[in-house]
């Protein structure tokens, strides 16, 4: 992860961006991939925001150094911004290369041409949904389980909710409190679950073994994640229904 600073975050930090560009170009020279979020800001909405010109500057800087850079526009769409586990829809555009532009133009015109081309593609790849348009959310974002899945997974799902609620609900409440009025809720909650869940499962397995003296309860390490997965398959998928 490489930082990019804006003027709003301190003019004194803008020099760091040159170092970030150099690090990106080192990756490009090795035929590597750098993921760039060209909107430069994360907001929980189904909407493409105006793009910054940093991507264009990096692209043309690379091409001027004869790096055969290719830019692939990608739209990443989430079914929910606050529910644990999401349906993720990834749409790919057409590759942008140096041959799409007239290098004889000035920097400003080239950067604007690149940004316009990238914006036009991303507008076709990123879902545009009003937060109040529940019908469109269901149409584009929901992936309903089949009747057979509901029959097979209903009991494991119920068990999964009961067993995992003592871990999940307190963490969810804590995260909501700590990330109030920010867009970091989901990231913080996933990180907390990532590190705490293995210990929680081991704790339950050890308790079961101590109470029953039966080491078959070690299978809980594998069984309990399945019940959690079962619940995720059947739970509501959208923030509003």
* Angstrom distance (rounded) from CA 189 to CA 179: 10
Burial-class residue 61 by CB neighbours within 10 Å (0-12, 13-18, 19+).
middle
CA dihedral of residues 51, 52, 53, 59 (deg, nearest 10): -70
pLDDT, one tens digit per residue, over 9-22 is: 667 676 777 888 89
pLDDT exceeds 90 at position 84? no
Q: Residue 170 to residues 82, 92, 158, 174, 192: CA-CA distances in angstroms? A: 15, 38, 19, 6, 11
Q: Which of 51, 18, 17, 57 is nearest to 37 (CA)?
A: 51
* Angstrom distance (rounded) from CA 223 to CA 217: 9
Q: Are 150 and 234 in contact (CB under 8 A)?
A: yes
* Angstrom distance (rounded) from CA 171 to CA 165: 10
Residues forming a β-bridge with 75: 91
Mean pLDDT, range 75-90, rounded to an integer: 89
Q: What is the mean pLDDT of the chain?
A: 90
What is the reported pLDDT for 220?
87
Where residue 72 falls among pLDDT bands split at 50, 70, 90? very high
Mean pLDDT, range 130-138, rounded to an integer: 91
Q: Are 95 and 153 in contact (CB under 8 A)?
A: no
**Percentage of the chain modeled with pLDDT above 70:** 97
What is the reported pLDDT for 155?
96
Where residue 181 falls among pLDDT bands split at 50, 70, 90? confident
- Which of these ranges, 55-64, 161-170, 175-184, has the smallest mean pLDDT? 175-184
pLDDT exceeds 60 at position 241? no
* Angstrom distance (rounded) from CA 52 to CA 49: 9
Where residue 152 falls among pLDDT bands split at 50, 70, 90? very high
* Angstrom distance (rounded) from CA 53 to CA 171: 38
Burial-class residue 229 by CB neighbours within 10 Å (0-12, 13-18, 19+).
middle
pLDDT exceeds 90 at position 62? yes
Tokens of 16: 């760091």
What is the reported pLDDT for 240?
64
Q: Provide the whole-model pTM.
A: 0.80
What is the reported pLDDT for 104?
86
Mean pLDDT, range 31-59, rounded to an integer: 90
């Amino acid at each position: 992860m490489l930082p990019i600073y804006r003027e709003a975050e301190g003019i004194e930090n803008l020099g760091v961006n040159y170092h970030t560009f150099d690090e990106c170009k080192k990756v490009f020279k090795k035929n590597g991939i750098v993921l760039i979020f060209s909107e430069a800001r994360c907001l929980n909405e189904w909407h493409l925001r105006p793009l910054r010109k940093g991507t264009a500057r990096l692209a043309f800087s690379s091409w001027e150094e004869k790096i055969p850079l290719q830019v692939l526009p990608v739209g990443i769409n989430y079914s929910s911004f606050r529910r644990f586990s999401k349906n993720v829809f990834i749409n790919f555009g057409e590759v942008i290369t140096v041959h799409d532009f007239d290098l004889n133009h000035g920097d400003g015109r080239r950067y604007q041409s690149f940004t316009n081309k990238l914006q036009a593609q991303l507008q076709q790849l990123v879902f545009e949904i009003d937060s109040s348009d529940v019908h469109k959310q269901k149409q584009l974002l929901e992936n309903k389980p089949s009747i057979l899945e509901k029959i097979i997974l209903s009991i494991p799902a119920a068990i999964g909710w009961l067993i995992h609620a003592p871990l999940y609900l307190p963490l969810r409440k804590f995260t909501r409190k700590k990330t109030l009025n920010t867009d970091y809720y989901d990231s913080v909650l996933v990180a907390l679950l990532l590190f705490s869940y293995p210990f929680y499962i081991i704790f339950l397995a050890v308790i079961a073994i101590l109470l029953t003296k039966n080491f078959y309860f070690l299978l809980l390490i594998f069984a309990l994640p399945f019940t959690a997965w079962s619940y995720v398959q059947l739970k509501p998928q959208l923030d509003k229904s």
